Amino acid sequence: MDERVYDIAVLGTGPAGLQAAIHAARRKVSVVVLGKINRSGLYSAHVENFCCIGSVEGEKMLAAGVVQAEEAGAHFLNEDVIETKADGDGFVIEPESGGRIHAAAMIMAMGIQRERLGVPGEKELFGKGVSYCVDCDANFYKNQKVAIIGNESSAVSGALTMLFYASDVYLVSDQPDVSDRLAEQLAVSDVKLFSGRNVRRIEGDEAVTGLVLDDDTRLNVSGVFIELGAKGATELAATLGVALDTKQFKYIQADKDQKTNIEGIFAAGDICGPPWQVAKAVGEGCVAGISASKYVKKKKGMKK
């Protein structure tokens, strides 16, 4: 198995993650950055309110940020993280293509999940069988039939996780788009794949009773997990015990040094809550990068 060791792992290649990587790498600690540039909220934005640069396309800002971070010494892996664990002396991070990354500190900058499926029944049955988080809710579906919806790593890894709980796991995927390793795991698993199809509606009154696909196939399920995009902040943070905001349980709580309640884990950007703005993401990323590098240097007995 491919094992790599870094001082700091930054999860997220949006403005928060990139700024964190730039500040950390310039302080002579080793930094790896994981995530997909084109999944950043900034990628398709046209920004006119960021200080000192006038009007600019988000895609250009991100490309420039990657070059700056690389020049500072950060290493980029263009893939999602599907698992994070504490390992006593730091953290183990599992990217979707396999292998393991060991890091003494981690900066969570994964933005927010904006995507909804937008089909009838989704809103009405949320919390009554419709969920957006396999890791949070899998336990409620022991020996039941469930469907996972999505094309990317969070849907496929979610379906594989669900096999430990549910009696039958269906994966509805218009066009699966994951690493070869996840695709191979899926192919030899007991997950029943419905590819090339979309969801037409989710059915049920008091609770989910089924799912109807656009070719009229009906799946009798009691759980529907909508997992669009990469594994979200809530899921990765929750498995590590990182505290979320007490009102909505959607955002990571971080102090003025961008530290979370878990030693060695820092957070920055949209993942810490509104306002969802590049200026805030960059500011918090800067602080997180500095705080994480100080933390690692102290731990290793390095000079400041």
Ligand X SMILES: Cc1cc2nc3c(=O)[nH]c(=O)nc-3n(C[C@H](O)[C@H](O)[C@H](O)COP(=O)(O)OP(=O)(O)OC[C@H]3O[C@@H](n4cnc5c(N)ncnc54)[C@H](O)[C@@H]3O)c2cc1C
- The pattern of x and - marking residues 110 through 149 that bind ligand X according to CB under 6 A reads xx--------------------------------------
Structural contact between residues 242 and 234, judged by C-beta atoms closer than 8 angstroms: no
> Residue 210 forms beta bridges with which residues?
203
**Which of 7, 96 has the CB closer to ligand X?**
96
Contact segment (CB under 6 A) with ligand X among 128-136, 195-203, 241-249, 269-277 equals 269-277
Q: Decide: is 14 part of the binding site for ligand X (CB under 6 A).
A: yes
Residue count, binding to ligand X (CB under 6 A)? 34
Find out whether the peptide bond into 275 is cis, omega within 30 degrees of 0: yes
Residue type, 63: A
Residue from the set 22, 61, 101, 109 that interacts with ligand X by CB under 6 A: 109
Q: Decide: is 81 part of the binding site for ligand X (CB under 6 A).
A: yes
Q: Decide: is 281 part of the binding site for ligand X (CB under 6 A).
A: yes
Place of tokens 């469907």: 147
Q: Decide: is 80 part of the binding site for ligand X (CB under 6 A).
A: yes
Place of tokens 């089924």: 210
Place of tokens 């890791």: 135
CA angle 209, 214, 158 (to 5 degrees): 60
**Which of 15, 129 has the CB closer to ligand X?**
15
**Which of 17, 90 has the CB closer to ligand X?**
17
- The dihedrals phi and psi of 261, each to the nearest 5 degrees, come to -75, -15
Residue from the set 179, 277, 294, 299 that interacts with ligand X by CB under 6 A: 277
Residue from the set 40, 173, 234, 293 that interacts with ligand X by CB under 6 A: 40
199: CB partners within 8 A, 6+ apart: 117, 119, 149, 172, 211, 212, 213, 214
> Can you tell me whether residue 240 is helix, strand or coil?
helix
- Shortest CB 39 distance to ligand X, Å: 3
DSSP letter at 292 equals: H
Interface residues with ligand X (CB under 6 A)? 11-17, 34-36, 39-42, 44-45, 47, 49-50, 80-81, 109-111, 230-231, 269-271, 276-279, 281
